[in-house]
Chains A and B, each alone.
Chain A
Amino acid sequence: MSSRTIDQLSGALVRMVRLGVFLFLMMPLAFVVVMSINPRPELFPPPAITPVWYQSFLSRPDFRGGLFVSVLLGLSVTAAAVTVGTLCAFPLARIRFKGTSLLSAIFLSPLAVPQIASAVALLNFFVFVGVISRRFEVLLIAHTIIALPYVIRVVTGSLIGFDRSLEEASLNLGASTTQTLLRITLPLIKPGLLAGAFFAFQASFSNVTVSAFLASAEVTPLPVVLFSWMRFTFDPSLAAISTLLMTFTTSVIFLLERILGLERLIGVAGGIRSI
């Protein structure tokens, strides 16, 4: 066999693997969407279209309760993580001192620790301190710890690429430090703040592992409700809620793409996740 033939064969093989991986990643998700409107789960393709699984999801009080907890928790975590993370990003981005890289490593450490280990450690800690009965607050603190590195990373990135002469111009023209912060600095790093907020919300809203250890019967975020439910049955109303969650995730990705641009989104997402 000539090397030309080998090239063609291996090229074809590589293209097949690519197509295969694309289908492997996307096909299962497409099936979920189809099954969520399938009136008879035992039949495929669906003989008709039905909204019944969406209705049955919305009519279940435990799902509705879980959704309420998750949204409230997600918004609180976003507020806490964006505030705390942005405060932290300023000195990290602007002061050059020995140990900046060590500090960054410490602040990003919640991402480097396996979530199962964080879950055990935090549960043990909250029991030890004696606050475990305050479930919502405990979940809020735990999720904020997990969400913080995303915010710190994105906002520090925005501040490092920031032209500080704009701030100096504002101060020289007589604006106060607060005015400069509110009218110059924050608007200019808005993309980073928005992206950080989305990352933080998503980190909280989709968390199962840490939540499963810290939640109680009274305060249970949606993914833990679904997780417990799936240990016993795979009801098609799970297809409906999965479709809604996937739609939400996909919308967030497209929004982030609009805010950050594709290259930076990939840089942030890939970089953050592979610590």
Chain B
Amino acid sequence: MEGTRSDDNRVNLKQLFLLFPSIVYVVLIFQLALALMLVTAFFRYQFPHIVDQFTLENFQRFFSSSLYLGTLYVTFKIAATTSLLSLLLGYPVAYALARSQSRLERAVLFVAVLISLFLGIIERIYAWVLLLQDTGIVNRLLATLGLGPVRLMYNEVGIIIASTHFLLSYAIFTLMGSIQSVSPSLEEAALGLGASRVRMFMDVTLPLTLPGILSCVLLTFSLGMSAFVIPMLMGGGLVWMLSNMIYDRVVFTGNIPFASAIALILLFVSIVSTQLVTMLVTKKIKVG
């Protein structure tokens, strides 16, 4: 190519116009909508209109009411439990995916985790309803053993089970990446020096995958905090998480300013988690 440097630059600048449609969608609509939501959260709502008056009362109302603080607590509790369960159940699977010698074992686990990653939320919830409802398969099984019935749905247990099912694939892929980045020769060296497998895991693998573990916990926690469909259907109106409160305020009272305030709280949790993950990952790169 005989193109000079300035020709290349001109071509490059012309190419920048190709970004324009994406900028319309992502910046001029999506980011602007987020900015508008931020502003809306500071407006007063008087049925059925948004009043043109700056106020902090949406946030004051949220943080001074036991109803909303209670919901925040329940949301936090469910998300934290789910996140911890996803880590504990996900780690052994992620380890097998990263390290297993058996191609068959890896292939089978990969297919299961991938199906779970792409599975629609409706199908997932219907599956758990069949198992967990009062007349569901689990309770029928318990009945034949002379036990139960146990309430497994319309409470926090049902939400936690379905959310863990939803978040496990995210946890497994995050952990798998972290485990793969640890050189197997480090583990082999520990074994060669006479360490037991448990000792090798505690002294080598676990500390080196700590950033991955923290990323996994933060990611699943923030996704769990903003869960909407699962608590709506598995909670059946008896357990409320923040998202359900948002939906209720929007659909039944049209109070978009208050809904925006709650949505901002969830957005805040998610941004803090993402930032922490970014910091942890960069730190990992510096260390490694």
Contact = CB atoms under 8 A, between A and B. Distances in A.
Contact of B226 (A29, A114, A269): A114
Contacts of A234: 126, 129-130, 133
B123 A109 contact: no
Contacts of A266: 110, 114, 173
A217 interface: no
B222 to A, nearest CB: 7
Given A22-B108, A253-B118, A274-B173, A28 B130 contact: yes
A13 to B, nearest CB: 9
Q: How large is the interface on A (under 10, 10 to 19, 20 to 34, 35 or more residues)?
A: 35 or more
A21 B89 contact: yes
B104 interface: no
B200 to A, nearest CB: 9
A275 B120 CA distance: 19
B114 A265 contact: yes
A162 B193 CA distance: 45
Contacts of B214: none
Contact of B120 (A7, A24, A122, A223): A223
B27 A141 contact: no
A18 B109 CA distance: 9
Contacts of A7: 196-198
Contacts of B34: 113, 117-118, 121
B22 A87 contact: yes
Chain B interface helix/strand/loop/mixed: helix
Nearest to A236: B130
A107 interface: yes
Interface stretch (B56-64, B66-74, B181-189, B262-270): B262-270
Contacts of B142: none
Given A94-B15, A250-B115, A128 B173 contact: no
A144 B25 contact: yes
A6 B270 CA distance: 40
A116 B170 contact: no
Contact of A24 (B37, B165, B219): B165
A242 B126 contact: yes
A227 B251 CA distance: 15
B196 A120 contact: no
Interface string B264-288: 1011001100100000000000000
Nearest to B89: A21
Interface in B91-131: 92-93, 95-96, 108-131
B29 interface: yes
Nearest to A242: B123
A166 interface: no
B150 interface: no
B163 interface: no
Contacts of A123: 250, 256
B267 A117 contact: yes
B188 to A, nearest CB: 15
A31 B137 contact: yes
A36 B165 CA distance: 21
Given A124-B36, A213-B250, A25 B228 contact: no
A116 B242 CA distance: 10
A160 interface: no
A116 B226 contact: yes
A115 B222 CA distance: 11
A4 B22 contact: no
Task: Give 8 nearest A-B pairs by CB, closest first.
Answer: A270-B173, A114-B226, A125-B33, A28-B127, A3-B196, A88-B22, A206-B120, A242-B123
23 contacts: A7-B198, A14-B92, A22-B108, A26-B112, A26-B115, A28-B128, A28-B130, A44-B140, A87-B18, A106-B31, A107-B22, A109-B31, A117-B37, A117-B270, A120-B259, A122-B33, A209-B229, A213-B250, A227-B233, A230-B125, A230-B126, A230-B233, A274-B215
Given A21-B93, A109-B26, A265-B114, 8 more contacts: A3-B198, A7-B196, A116-B226, A116-B263, A121-B33, A242-B123, A249-B123, A253-B115
